[in-house]
Chains A and B, each alone.
Chain A
Amino acid sequence: GQNIDQPTEMTATEGAIVQINCTYQTSGFNGLFWYQQHAGEAPTFLSYNVLDGLEEKGRFSSFLSRSKGYSYLLLKELQMKDSASYLCAVRVNRDDKIIFGKGTRLHILP
């Protein structure tokens, strides 16, 4: 079966840095995604990793280690608007099907 694990909830302070971890055990691997989802809205794409290493995009960075089945999303200079759920997702096959983790609800405190 497919298994994607990430913490259920995290809390951080405005202006700080937070790291959201994700581990996965899937039958195949063809890329890992991070999405942001605000309550009642659809997810929005944040990042994509297929090779080991760090991808940086503004305040957000994503890291992947394929040998460890591990990824993290790093958010810097946290803002109140970053309060949302962050979904880790793995594309298992080349047919584009993506399996989502249960998401991490991030609460930002002033």
Chain B
Amino acid sequence: GAVVSQHPSWVICKSGTSVKIECRSLDFQATTMFWYRQFPKQSLMLMATSNEGSKATYEQGVEKDKFLINHASLTLSTLTVTSAHPEDSSFYICSATIGGKRLNEQFFGPGTRLTVL
């Protein structure tokens, strides 16, 4: 149990276009999901915390108008990179907390590699 999926696993787009990344908890309900960005050989940088039915909480320095997060249900959160530029090329990873006896674990999706040309 506790499987998180992401779609797509990789995407290549032209500069100026928008890209949507989906994060789904497949076998549990996740009231909280997190979005991270990871550049090569660097650690995960938390971008935002997403709560179902409410606005996402963004970390300092993350543009909320550029990285739109929607958490419409207990099993789905989406990250939309608007007007993507080459510097947005990165590995985007979501995670979800399961609660209950496994409250202390975060389960990560497989990640989405975004390349902006």
Which residues of A are at the interface with B, using a C-beta cutoff of 8 A? Answer: 31, 33, 40-45, 48, 50, 87, 95-103, 105
Contact B108 A87 (CB under 8 A): no
Q: Which among B42, B97, B111 is the interface contact of A42 at CB below 8 angstroms?
A: B111
Contact A98 B106 (CB under 8 A): yes
Within 8 A of A (CB), among B39-75: 41-46, 49
User: Taking each of B43, B44, B49, B110, which has the highest tally of chain A beta carbons within 10 Å of its own beta carbon?
Assistant: B43
Q: Which among B32, B34, B107 is the interface contact of A45 at CB below 8 angstroms?
A: B107
Which residues of B are at the interface with A, using a C-beta cutoff of 8 A? Answer: 32, 34, 36, 41-46, 49, 91, 93, 97, 104-111, 113
A98-B46 contact, Cβ under 8 Å, with A45-B106, A45-B107, A48-B104: yes
User: Taking each of A41, A42, A99, which has the highest tally of chain B beta carbons within 10 Å of its own beta carbon?
Assistant: A42
A102-B34 contact, Cβ under 8 Å, with A41-B111, A50-B104: no
Contact A43 B105 (CB under 8 A): no
Contact A45 B93 (CB under 8 A): no
* B42 partner residues in chain A, CB cutoff 8 A: 102-103
Contact A97 B49 (CB under 8 A): yes
In angstroms, Cα B93 to Cα A23, docked, is 25
Contact A42 B108 (CB under 8 A): yes
A87-B107 contact, Cβ under 8 Å, with A42-B93, A96-B32, A98-B34: no
In angstroms, Cα B42 to Cα A105, docked, is 10
CB distance from B55 to the nearest CB of A (A): 14
**4 nearest A-B residue pairs (beta carbon):** A42-B108, A102-B43, A48-B104, A100-B44
In angstroms, Cα B104 to Cα A103, docked, is 20
* A99 partner residues in chain B, CB cutoff 8 A: 46
In angstroms, Cα B106 to Cα A31, docked, is 12
* A95 partner residues in chain B, CB cutoff 8 A: 49
Contact A87 B43 (CB under 8 A): yes
13 extra interchain contacts, Cβ-Cβ under 8 A, other than A48-B104, A96-B32, A97-B46?
A: A40-B91, A40-B113, A41-B111, A42-B111, A43-B108, A44-B108, A45-B107, A87-B44, A98-B46, A100-B45, A102-B42, A102-B43, A103-B43
